[in-house]
């Protein structure tokens, strides 16, 4: 079946939103589905150079005529979602929310603020984890998407709609959130993890589809992995942003802030260990490698690899035992390796 799953291979913020947006355009997707909750922000750069961060909607919401969906495994902050609906201009004919999706309440947020998890493991305190726990504990106080009248016009059962689309041969893009290294089931750095499994198989389950529906798993990596600030867990080969700026040749200071808490991220050199583990569990059909401008600043401007970047990519491929199919040279670019090779031959 024509189902593409986007999954992160490190600790999140690999550029999954950009990849999902690009592939939805390239594959002419009919439906884009977002999993997870508002504890992860996915970014797309709109012309001329304006970042759009979406914490609830799939990034394909910015593409005309693509249907968007939040499945039964979603966790929704109504205020954030409604802001994004207004920002993207989605109407009821382009957005569907499963009635089994869970609403994050003020009690959930307060519970996380009082839990001490921000200090202990770098939690975003979005309330997502508390809502997940409430669901697992089968609390009668659990609030579903049907409880908010503001969302009533969007409520539709998602699994049968996705099934019908797949049977008809329509491409579905499933935009997973966070990264393999944050999975509470598979991460080597537990308890420094998130509240949901972050593998391709888990994402498929959350939207109500079968593993047999998947024909493409795209794992997204970044040349320099990050973790959120504070006591967020081990990060092998950690460096600082000043070192990265100097080595990249960037004339401006390179630094990233988290999409949700707006704090400075930690950054490190590429670690093949976590990626090999992610490949073993997710069995990706293709790999996208972003943030290559952090290796060589000029590549971001030219959107083509320098010898330094080519050597880096080839070394990474050897270390992880897989070929890289897509290269990202800046926040808005994603180029298929084969297309790039043809372009360089004709230059």
Average pLDDT of 11-36? 95
Confidence label for 158 from pLDDT (cuts 50, 70 and 90): very high
Residue 36 pLDDT: 93
The better pLDDT of the pair 123, 305 is held by 305
The pLDDT value given to residue 51: 87
Task: Calculate mean pLDDT across residues 187-206.
Answer: 95
200 is written with which tokens?
């391709």
Task: State the Cα–Cα distance between residues 218 and 221, nearest whole angstrom.
Answer: 10
Helices (H), the chain: 16-26, 78-88, 106-115, 117-121, 128-136, 158-167, 200-207, 241-248, 272-282, 297-302, 307-320, 337-346
**Does residue 192 have a pLDDT over 50?**
yes
Domain ranges of the chain: 3-54+158-346
Per-residue pLDDT, 346: 46
CA distance 245 to 44: 23
Mean pLDDT of 139-151: 91
Residues 6+ apart with CB under 8 A from 24: 32, 58, 59, 60, 63, 66, 173
Instruction: Supply the DSSP string of 243-256, one letter for each residue.
Output: HHHHHHT-SS----
Specify the pLDDT at position 120. 60
Parallel/antiparallel/unpaired status of strands 102-103 and 42-46? unpaired
- Among 296, 320, 287, smallest CA distance to 15 is for 287
Q: Quick one: average pLDDT of 93-116?
A: 88
Question: What's the pLDDT tens digit per position in 52-89?
Answer: 999 999 999 999 999 999 999 999 999 999 999 999 99
Decide: pTM greater than 0.75. yes
Residue 97 belongs to what H/E stretch? strand 95-97
Higher pLDDT, 3 or 138: 3
Range with the poorest average pLDDT among 6-20, 214-228, 249-263: 249-263
Tokens of 91: 């109407």
Q: In the predicted model, is pLDDT for residue 297 greater than 90? A: yes
Confidence band, pLDDT 50/70/90 cuts, at residue 117: low
Q: For residue 347, is pLDDT > 50? A: no
For the chain, what is the mean pLDDT? 92
pLDDT value of residue 49:
78
Please give the pLDDT value at position 1.
86
Give the β-pairing of 42-46 and 67-70.
unpaired
Indicate the range of 115-124, 236-245, 330-339 predicted with least confidence: 115-124
Return the minimum-mean-pLDDT range out of 94-98, 134-138, 189-193, 287-291.
134-138
Q: Which fold has domain 3-54+158-346?
A: Adenylosuccinate Synthetase; Chain A, domain 1 (3.40.440)
The predicted-structure confidence for 228-267, as pLDDT tens digits, reads as follows: 888 889 999 999 999 999 999 999 999 998 877 778 999 9
Confidence of residue 25 (pLDDT cuts 50, 70, 90): very high
Q: pLDDT at position 260, please?
A: 72
* The pLDDT of residue 21: 95
- The H-or-E segment that residue 221 falls in is strand 214-222
Using CA atoms, how far apart are residues 286 and 292, in angstroms rounded to an integer? 17
């Amino acid at each position: 079946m024509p189902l593409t799953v986007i999954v992160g291979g490190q600790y999140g913020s690999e550029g999954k939103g950009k990849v999902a947006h690009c592939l939805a355009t390239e594959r002419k997707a009919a439906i884009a589905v977002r999993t997870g909750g508002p504890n992860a922000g996915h970014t797309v750069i709109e012309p001329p150079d304006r970042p759009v961060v979406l914490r609830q909607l799939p990034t394909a919401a910015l593409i005309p005529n693509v249907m968007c969906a939040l499945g039964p495994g979603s966790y929704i902050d109504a205020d954030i979602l409604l802001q994004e609906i207004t920002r993207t201009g989605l109407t009821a004919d382009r957005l569907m929310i499963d009635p089994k999706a869970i609403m994050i309440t003020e009690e959930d947020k307060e519970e996380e603020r009082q839990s001490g998890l921000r200090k202990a493991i770098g939690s975003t305190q979005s309330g997502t984890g508390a809502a997940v726990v409430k669901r697992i504990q089968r609390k009668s106080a659990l609030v579903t998407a049907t409880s908010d009248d503001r969302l009533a016009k969007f409520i539709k059962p998602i699994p049968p709609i996705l099934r019908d689309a797949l049977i008809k041969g329509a491409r579905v893009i499933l935009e997973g959130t966070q990264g393999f290294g944050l999975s509470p089931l598979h991460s080597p750095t537990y308890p420094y993890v998130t509240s949901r499994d972050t593998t391709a198989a888990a994402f498929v389950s959350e939207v109500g589809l079968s593993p047999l529906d998947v024909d493409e798993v795209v794992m997204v990596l970044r040349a320099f992995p990050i973790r959120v600030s504070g006591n967020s867990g081990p990060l092998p080969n950690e460096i600082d942003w000043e070192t990265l700026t100097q080595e990249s040749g960037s004339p401006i200071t390179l630094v990233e802030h988290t999409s949700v808490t707006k704090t400075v991220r930690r950054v490190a050199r590429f670690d093949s260990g976590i990626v090999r583990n992610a490949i073993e569990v997710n069995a990706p059909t293709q790999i996208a490698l972003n943030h290559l401008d952090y290796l060589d600043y000029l590549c971001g401007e030219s959107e083509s690899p320098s010898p330094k970047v080519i050597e880096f990519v080839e070394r990474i491929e050897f270390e992880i035992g897989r070929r890289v199919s897509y290269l990202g040279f800046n926040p808005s670019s994603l180029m298929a390796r084969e297309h790039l090779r043809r372009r360089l031959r004709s230059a």
